[in-house]
Amino acid sequence: MKIGTIQIETPVFLAPMAGVTDYPFRILCKEMGAGMVYSEFVSADGIIRGNTKTLNLIQFEEPERPIGIQIFGNNAETMSQAAKFVADIFRPDILDINYGCPVPKITKKGGGSAALKDLCLMDDITTAVVEAVPKLPVTVKMRIGWNNKSIIVPEAGQRLEKIGVKAISLHPRTTKQRYTGRADWHYIKLLKESVSIPVIGNGDVCNTDDMMRMFDETGCNAVMVARAAQGNPWFFQKAKAHLEGRPVPAPPSLLDIANMCRRHFDLLLENRGERTGTNLMRKHFSNYIKGFTGAAALRKILVTAPGLPEMEKALDQFAAFAQKTELELV
């Protein structure tokens, strides 16, 4: 598929997730076959102020391409300036506008999915961003409305296409639903039938069977995966095999999981430093280490470890256990 002029080999994307989709996790998913990856969402205010922490979230490496940088804000001028800065300095393949985040600390300031309450504001922000980066494809990630009484699909999609947006990712829940209830894929199908630009479906894709069902039921051009990829970058390997009609790889072994944990941890330490890297890895340990005998005890040790030496020791013990288990199965 194409988004603007950007050719994408595999129509299975890693969704932007705050505190998750940093460089280490993105590169692991990319290596496993993700067709497109996204940065964590980045504040337009932070960008134009030159906030170091904010700008660090935008950094990426060439092997991650194609990559989208996602920005959010509540003001057209600020979003325009931020978009131009990102395009000129970082040169991503795609610039994505976040109209989907339902978290109150973002929406109370008018960011994320708060724009769903005011389509004129959405028009203004989107127009400002599109005009600021004429050579860069602009996409949008959105929800279906603020609540069940204010569903804006497909009208919003048609307006966004007219402004010049090159693709829309739709999470078919309302802001008020947050992440509860069922994602209503009917709205993905409705949006796809209402616009001519690519539509990326997102929501309640827990495995590759769900992915294939979303393609079949909605006609979407691509599927975006979020929580199902956490602790499971192998999702993309399996998804790619499904789509290409190849034999699906076997589930990861304990040794595969141990090695992936180690690689992810090493990348985080290298990329974010010891203090931040160890703190960030705790949530990833929780996602990787589950579903086998002794997982709960090991997970507790890793998540509560006071520092790097203790984490390293526990990981070494996990790797040794995994190696022993694999040898016994041969």
Given this model, what pLDDT does residue 328 score? 67
Domain with CATH 1.10.1200 in the chain: 254-329
List the CATH code of the domain at 2-244: 3.20.20.70
CA distance 114 to 107: 5
CA distance 87 to 47: 12
Residues labelled as active-site residues? 101
List the CATH code of the domain at 254-329: 1.10.1200
219-221-223 Cα angle (round to 5): 95
Given this model, what pLDDT does residue 329 score? 61
Q: Indicate the pTM of the whole model.
A: 0.94
In this structure, how many other beta carbons lie within 10 angstroms of the beta carbon of residue 134? Answer: 9
Q: Which residues of the chain fall below pLDDT 50?
A: 330
CA distance 216 to 218: 6
Domain with CATH 3.20.20.70 in the chain: 2-244
Task: Determine contact, residues 40/19, Cβ cutoff 8 Å.
Answer: yes
Those residues whose C-beta lies under 8 Å from the C-beta of residue 50, and which sit 6 or more positions away, are none
Given this model, what pLDDT does residue 2 score? 96
